[in-house]
């Protein structure tokens, strides 16, 4: 392993090049929450249209999660991430030039496909080029980079809108993507497939079927789709419209609220990373932390629904902060599998999260439009959509932590059935 560790200066350069690409990915992920008022007005979008548009990113992103692992192992981060970012560039330019909803949606899907490698590529490279302690540090810092991307998508974008308009903003992002591609090609090391053959052989053992048939993995499928996916749906889209249409914020006030939400998230992720090892040393497993902590987010979401127009940025921030316990789900998934299946398990769970985000962004929009069509106010419509999310979250929690014979969910053509019988997961397995 020592032969693959990069010199310190080169390792720092590699990290910052990857971080820049991931920053752009997260900026594009969350930007629709800020732009929702202007896009809704210009293209006369319904709530379902807005949800589908925002979710298009996650649909494109999710579609690449399974093949991406194989492509990265074979061709390496440099070739894959630079090639994929070219797709993101095309999607971003296309979005800037779009003249109708269909053009926006296709462009958004292309963007999601294009940036889908911006995190998995560095994680793949770090395991070869960085020492183990450097990997942990780099992975934590990548989460902070994500928060910076989300942060930049809020107030900074809102302040740029009057001067440049949303089309030129996307043109500027497209230019930054080209710079990122150049940096990737210039500074990311080449991938020597033969040197990494032993690692490839190790990770090729086992199949995806082994992951998806695992009882523990089955039990967290609804949590990935609805709890995690719903959280990201609110964070990256519906928090903004809630503040404008329910709480009565102006677009600039909404963007300011989103800005401080992401500032708070950045600080909380830093503190959470510091205190989490101390908590686990006290005997709290990842699953125990999740079981005890997640109900807090349910209570806060219930408060938001009850308060309605009185629940502004402060309460949205409390909800997102209380959902930080969900961050332990991915380590729990990885640790529940043998090393040769851990990568496939994490990739599969990542697929669930992004697919769930797409589903929840769209469905919540459909619920809002449906309730409004029955003659109810927009406030009632949003409260109903948020209640639907809370209901699905409670069902998902029950499927994982409360003994049941079966857990099923049906909505139109979407039907998922989970069989979880006499299943126990001890702390030793986490």
Which DSSP string corresponds to 209-221? HHHHT-HHHHHHH
Q: Which of 240, 48, 265 is nearest to 157 (CA)?
A: 240
Q: What is the pLDDT, as a whole number, of residue 403?
A: 55
Judged by average pLDDT, the poorest of 25-29, 275-279, 322-326, 417-421 is 417-421
Q: What is the pLDDT, as a whole number, of residue 178?
A: 98
Q: What is the pLDDT confidence band of residue 418, given thresholds at 50, 70 and 90? A: very low
Name the more confident of 344 and 67: 67
Name the more confident of 23 and 430: 23
Q: Rounded distance, CA 145 to CA 55, Å?
A: 22
In sequence order, what E strands does 61-146 have? none
Judged by average pLDDT, the poorest of 123-127, 272-276, 319-323, 396-400 is 272-276
Judged by average pLDDT, the poorest of 338-347, 405-414, 418-427 is 418-427
Stated pTM of the model: 0.79
Task: Check pLDDT > 50 for residue 426.
Answer: no
Judged by average pLDDT, the poorest of 11-15, 68-72, 139-143 is 139-143
Burial 407-422 (b: 16+ CB within 10 A, else e): bebeeeeeeeebebee
Q: Rounded distance, CA 272 to CA 18, Å?
A: 23
Task: Check pLDDT > 70 for residue 424.
Answer: no
Task: Check pLDDT > 60 for residue 414.
Answer: no
Burial 369-405 (b: 16+ CB within 10 A, else e): bebbeeeeeeebbbbbbbebbbebbbbbbebbbeeee
Q: Which of 401, 389, 395 is nearest to 416 (CA)?
A: 395
Give CA torsion, residues 250, 254, 260, 264, to 10 deg.
150
Q: What is the pLDDT, as a whole number, of residue 133?
A: 61
Q: Rounded distance, CA 113 to CA 53, Å?
A: 14
- pLDDT above 90 covers a percentage of the chain that reads 54
Q: Rounded distance, CA 36 to CA 242, Å?
A: 11
- pLDDT above 70 covers a percentage of the chain that reads 86
Q: What is the pLDDT, as a whole number, of residue 253?
A: 93
Name the average pLDDT for the chain.
84
Q: Which residue bears the tokens 């519906």? A: 238
Contact 335, 276 (CB under 8 A): no
Q: What is the pLDDT, as a whole number, of residue 405?
A: 42
Average pLDDT rounded to a whole number, residues 187-193:
81
Contact 115, 61 (CB under 8 A): yes
In sequence order, what E strands does 185-291 have? none
Name the more confident of 242 and 283: 242
**Could you give phi then psi for residue 99, rounded to 5 degrees?**
-115, -5
Q: What is the pLDDT confidence band of residue 388, given thresholds at 50, 70 and 90? A: very high
| Highest mean pLDDT (candidates 291-295, 390-394, 407-411) | 390-394
Q: Rounded distance, CA 183 to CA 187, Å?
A: 6
Domain 1-204 in CATH: superfamily? MFS general substrate transporter like domains (1.20.1250.20)
Q: Which residues pair with 33 in a beta bridge?
A: none
Q: Which of 141, 294, 284 is nearest to 228 (CA)?
A: 294
Tokens of 346: 């994490």
Task: Check pLDDT > 80 for residue 220.
Answer: yes
Name the more confident of 418 and 140: 140
Q: What is the pLDDT confidence band of residue 326, given thresholds at 50, 70 and 90? A: confident
Q: What is the pLDDT confidence band of residue 281, given thresholds at 50, 70 and 90? A: confident
Name the more confident of 140 and 214: 214
Average pLDDT rounded to a whole number, residues 189-211:
65
pLDDT digits (tens, 9 = 90+) for 234-260: 988 899 999 999 999 999 999 999 899
| Highest mean pLDDT (candidates 177-181, 264-268, 423-427) | 177-181
Q: Rounded distance, CA 315 to CA 301, Å?
A: 8
Q: Which residue bears the tokens 């059935």? A: 417
Q: What is the pLDDT confidence band of residue 284, given thresholds at 50, 70 and 90? A: confident
Let me know if 305 is exposed, middle or buried by CB neighbors in 10 A (0-12, 13-18, 19+): middle
Tokens of 327: 């961050």
Q: Rounded distance, CA 180 to CA 171, Å?
A: 14
Q: What is the pLDDT, as a whole number, of residue 123?
A: 80
Give CA torsion, residues 128, 130, 134, 138, to 10 deg.
-70
Q: Which of 203, 228, 233 is nearest to 29 (CA)?
A: 233
Q: What is the pLDDT, as a whole number, of residue 196?
A: 56
| 7, 284, 427 from 153: Cα distances, Å | 34, 35, 39
**Could you give phi then psi for residue 155, rounded to 5 degrees?**
-60, -45
Q: Which of 163, 152, 370, 185 is nearest to 265 (CA)?
A: 152
Tokens of 367: 């619920």
Average pLDDT rounded to a whole number, residues 308-320:
94
Task: Check pLDDT > 60 for residue 261.
Answer: yes
Task: Check pLDDT > 90 for residue 377.
Answer: yes
For 206-412, CATH number? Answer: 1.20.1250.20
Q: Where do the CATH 1.20.1250.20 domains begin and end in the chain?
A: 1-204, 206-412
pLDDT digits (tens, 9 = 90+) for 110-150: 999 999 999 888 888 887 788 766 766 677 678 778 888 98
pLDDT digits (tens, 9 = 90+) for 33-58: 899 999 999 999 999 999 999 999 99
Return the ∠ at Cα 44 (arms to 42 and 47), rounded to 5°.
120
What is the dihedral sign for C-alpha 274, 295, 213, 415? Answer: negative
Tokens of 297: 């987010």
């Amino acid at each position: 392993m020592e032969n693959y560790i990069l010199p310190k200066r080169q390792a720092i350069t590699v990290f910052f090049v990857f971080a820049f690409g991931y920053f752009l990915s997260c900026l594009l992920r969350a930007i629709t929450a800020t732009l929702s008022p202007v896009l809704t007005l210009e293209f006369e979008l319904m709530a379902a249209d807005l949800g589908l548009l925002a979710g298009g990113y996650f649909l494109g992103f999710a579609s690449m999660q399974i093949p991406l692992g194989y492509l990265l192992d074979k061709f390496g981060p440099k070739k894959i991430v630079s090639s994929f970012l070219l797709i993101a560039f095309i999607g971003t330019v296309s979005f800037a030039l779009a003249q109708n909803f269909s053009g926006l949606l296709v462009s958004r899907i292309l963007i999601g496909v294009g940036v889908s490698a911006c995190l998995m590529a560095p994680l793949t490279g770090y395991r070869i080029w960085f020492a183990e302690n450097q990997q942990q540090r780099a992975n934590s810092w990548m989460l902070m980079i994500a928060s910076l991307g989300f942060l930049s998508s809020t107030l900074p974008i809102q302040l740029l809108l009057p001067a440049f308009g949303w089309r030129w903003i996307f043109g500027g992002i497209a230019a930054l993507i080209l710079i990122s591609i150049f940096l990737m090609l210039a500074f990311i090391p080449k991938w020597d497939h033969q040197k990494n053959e032993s690692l490839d052989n190790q990770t090729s053992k086992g199949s995806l079927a082994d992951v998806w048939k695992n009882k523990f993995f089955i039990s967290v499928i609804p949590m990935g789709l609805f709890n995690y996916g719903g959280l990201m749906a609110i964070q990256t889209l519906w928090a903004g419209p809630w503040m404008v249409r329910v709480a009565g914020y102006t677009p600039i006030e909404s963007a300011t609220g989103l800005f401080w939400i992401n500032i708070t998230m950045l600080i909380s992720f830093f503190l959470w990373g510091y205190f989490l090892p101390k908590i686990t040393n006290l005997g709290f497993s990842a699953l125990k932390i999740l079981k005890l902590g997640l109900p807090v987010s349910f209570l806060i979401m219930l408060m938001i629904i009850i308060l309605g127009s009185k629940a502004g940025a402060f309460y949205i921030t409390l909800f997102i902060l209380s959902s930080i316990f969900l961050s332990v789900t991915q380590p729990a998934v990885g640790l529940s599998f043998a090393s040769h299946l851990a990568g496939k398990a994490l990739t599969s769970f990542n697929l669930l999260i992004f697919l769930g985000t797409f589903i929840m962004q769209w469905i919540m929009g459909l619920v809002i439009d449906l309730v409004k069509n029955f003659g109810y106010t927009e406030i009632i419509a949003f409260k109903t959509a948020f209640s639907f999310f809370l209901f699905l979250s409670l069902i998902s929690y029950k499927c994982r932590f409360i003994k049941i014979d079966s857990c099923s969910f049906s909505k139109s053509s979407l039907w998922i059935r989970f069989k979880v019988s006499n299943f126990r997961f001890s702390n030793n397995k986490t």
